[in-house]
Amino acid sequence: PFSQFSWFFNGSQVATGSKYETGPLTLASQGDYTCVAFNNITVRNSTVSKMLTVVATVTMTIVKVIGAQPILNERFSLTCGTTGTVYSIQWMRNGWPLYASNRTDFSTNNNTLTFNSVQHSDKGDYQCSASNPFSNMTSPYYKLIVNYGPEMPIITGPALGETGHNVTFNCSASSQPLSQFSWFFNGSQVATGSKYETGPLTLASQGDYTCVAFNNITVRNSTVSKMLTVVATVTMTIVKVIGAQPILNERFSLTCGTTGTVYSIQWMRNGWPLYASNRTDFSTNNNTLTFNSVQHSDKGDYQCSASNPFSNMTSPYYKLIIN
C-alpha cells in the first residue's frame, strides 16, 4: 500500500504526511530535512534527505573607510559593509563598474577596495552593490575626496612699509582640506589665521614674516617667508654748511641734514636741479654738495629734497653769499 511519511529536521521529528511546510525561515532553519517512508505491510522503511540553505535578505550596504583618510600618494582602502547573506559584491565609481588595475585591488570576497597609491584622478562617488539569489541592495554614495598638501604656500602683501602705518599679509596654500595658518615674526609666533595685520610699524618691525600652513588630515606643513623693509617717514630736511664759510676761490661744502629713511636726495639752486660739473661734486649718497673753487656765479638759493617711496620733503632755502 501507499507509504506513511515522517519528517525529521536535523534528527528531530517535525511532521508526518507526504508534504511538509516550514514556518517562516530563519538562519536557524538551515540544515538537513529527512523524509522516512514506511510500509505497514512490508514493515520496511526508506529514507531520503535534502539540505536546505537559508539566505538572509540583504537589508543594508554601506561604503566605509578602513583606517586612515585618503591622502595623496598613500595607500587607502574602502570596505563594503553589509547586513544579510552576500553572494557577490560589485563596486562602482560614478555609476560605472570598477575592476582591478595596476593601482587598485579587491579582496578575495570583493568586499574591500584598495588603492595602492591614491591620486587626484580617483576622486568621485563610490558605491558597492551586494546581492544573493533573492535580493540585492546598492549602497549610498561615498564621495572620495583626496586629501593633500599644503603645497606652494604664498604670502601676498607689501615688501615695504612706512612707520606709523599698518601692513596686511595674506597667506594661501594649495590644500585639501583648507590649511590652518600660523604667523611668525623673526622666529616668534605672532598670530593665527590666513590674514595677519601688523600694528603701527616701527623700525623694529622690519624683518622676516613667516607663514606656516598646516593640514590636520595629512599632518603636514609647509612654510614661506617674506621680508618686510620698514621705511621711516622723512620728517626734516635742512641745508647746512660743512666747515668754513664760503670764501671766493676756496673749497666749500653743503650737506643735506635729514631725519627719516632717505632713498634719494636731489639738490636745487634757485628752484632748478643741480648736477655735478667740473667745479661741483656730490658725495656717493648725494647728501653733500662740494664746490672745488666757489665763485661769485655760485651765489643763490640752495635747497635739497629727500625722498623715499612713501614721503618726501624739501628743505628751506639756504642763501649762498660769497665772502
Closest CA relative to residue 303, chosen from 272, 261, 281: 272
The per-residue pLDDT for 13 is: 95
- In the numeric block, the cell 582591478 is attached to 100
Average pLDDT of each block of 10 consecutive residues along the chain (323 residues)? 95 95 95 96 96 96 96 97 96 95 93 96 97 97 98 97 97 98 95 98 97 97 97 97 95 97 97 93 95 96 97 97 96
Cell of 95: 555609476
Domains and CATH numbers, the chain: 4-52 (no CATH), 60-144 (2.60.40.10), 149-231 (2.60.40.10), 236-320 (2.60.40.10)
Residue 242 and residue 254 in contact, taking contact as beta carbons nearer than 8 Å? yes
The per-residue pLDDT for 246 is: 97
- In the numeric block, the cell 566605509 is attached to 64
Residues making up the chain, counted from first to last: 323
Residue 111 and residue 89 in contact, taking contact as beta carbons nearer than 8 Å? yes
The per-residue pLDDT for 105 is: 95
10 Å Cβ neighbour count for 96?
9
Question: Which residues share a beta bridge with 312?
Answer: 307
